[in-house]
Structure 1
Amino acid sequence: MQNRISSFSPLIDDQSEILILGSIPGVKSLEKQQYYAHPQNKFWKIIFELLYEEFTENYTERLKILKKHHIALWDVIDTCERKGSLDSEIKNEETNQIAELLEEHPNVKAIFCNGGKSYKSLQKLLGKNYRLPIYQLPSTSPLHTVSFEKKYEEWKVILEFLGEEV
């Protein structure tokens, strides 16, 4: 029997302009109860470089930077069974209430999926012609072996929705 795991609460407020969605937290993130906690995951490095912010390991400070730049975080999957951290091992998934979250936060202008699993799951949930643009970005996971530079270049698209300099 595989473990049933659950995602975290959404990090969002009334000022949020974009929503970044993962699939569901990996083992290290679940242990630490932090989004993107695996030290090899490039999420925080990419975000801090894009926003010209000084990198920090402090999770509370990381969340403050997201809030300052109007970035919300959540996962498409609410609960599932999974052995390890691989998205390919996800079974019996139940999705989060993404549409309802977006109705409650009308300032969100675009959705960015961190990797293919979150994108495919979100398309199933919201449909292909959802009212907001939905982008699939390369996964920041260390298991996705595309170079940091390539990931960083593709992640720059979020800046178009934040009014930040590219």
Structure 2
Amino acid sequence: MASRAGKETSAPAGQRVVHPLEPIFDGKSRVLVLGTMPSPKSREVRFYYGNPQNRFWRVMAALWGEPVPASNDDRRDLCLRHHVALWDVLASCTIAGASDASIRDPVPNDVGRILSAAPIVRVFCTGGTATRLYQRLIEPACGVPCTGLPSTSPANARMRLDDLVVAYESLRRAADGE
């Protein structure tokens, strides 16, 4: 597109990314937590919320008064022990790095796969983009509304860890059957 100065500008560069991770869930999962799309660091370490600056695993550990899980196996175990299913809203999209704001051409994951296999009572989305994409692309098909939670990304620096833990308390209550 042309700018006012007549110079050519374009949308943010991005690459087509196909979601590489399997969902985490079992037949006892009560809540489904959905991010948007694994970041480059998460794809590199082959697990959700893999950027060490992301506070997701610190929040999850704090909710249940546990140590922060150190390995992917520990993270998977924490989720399953506490009846948390984990996946992402998107199966594929064009994205620049980890910038949710750059997402183009989103294709949703089939969350029906989890909803039909586990007794999910609540769906939570981490961050505004995940929430909006879920509401637009998935909720009309599955009929299950989601609760939006604040992003645990380092880009959401305005929220302190303690504030995130308070915001995620509804996830813990639903997972624990309260």
TM-score normalized by the length of structure 2:
0.85
**Structure 1 residue 73 and structure 2 residue 86: aligned?**
yes
Q: How many residues in Structure 1 have an aligned counterpart in Structure 2?
A: 164
Whether the aligned pair in 1 keeps the contact of 2:108 and 2:138 (CA below 8 Å) is: no
Aligned to 1:14: 27
Whether the aligned pair in 2 keeps the contact of 1:99 and 1:126 (CA below 8 Å) is: no
Whether the aligned pair in 1 keeps the contact of 2:135 and 2:145 (CA below 8 Å) is: no
- Matched to 1:92, the amino acid is D
In structure 1, runs of 5+ residues without a counterpart are none
Aligned to 2:54: 41
Residues 29 and 164 (structure 1), Cα distance of their counterparts in 2 relative to 1, 3 Å cut: same
**Structure 1 residue 114 and structure 2 residue 119: aligned?**
no
Percent identity of paired positions between Structure 1 and Structure 2: 29
Separation in structure 2 between the aligned mates of residue 147 and residue 129 of structure 1, nearest angstrom: 35
Counting only pairs closer than 5 Å after superposition, residues 80-95 of structure 1 correspond to structure 2 as: 80-95=93-108
Deviations 1:62-91 (A, max 9, x none): 111111111100000010111111100111
Residues 128 and 4 (structure 1), Cα distance of their counterparts in 2 relative to 1, 3 Å cut: closer
Whether the aligned pair in 1 keeps the contact of 2:91 and 2:107 (CA below 8 Å) is: yes
Counting only pairs closer than 5 Å after superposition, residues 75-154 of structure 1 correspond to structure 2 as: 75-105=88-118, 107-127=119-139, 131-145=143-157, 146-154=159-167
In structure 2, runs of 5+ residues without a counterpart are 1-12
Separation in structure 2 between the aligned mates of residue 129 and residue 94 of structure 1, nearest angstrom: 13
Residue 96 of structure 1 deviates from its aligned partner by: 0.4
Whether the aligned pair in 1 keeps the contact of 2:69 and 2:78 (CA below 8 Å) is: no
Moved over 6 A (4+): none
Matched residue of 1:88: which SS? strand
Separation in structure 2 between the aligned mates of residue 157 and residue 85 of structure 1, nearest angstrom: 26
Moved more, 16-25 or 141-150: 141-150
**Bigger Cα Rg:** 2
- Matched to 2:49, the amino acid is Y
Give the root-mean-square deviation of aligned CA atoms: 1.9
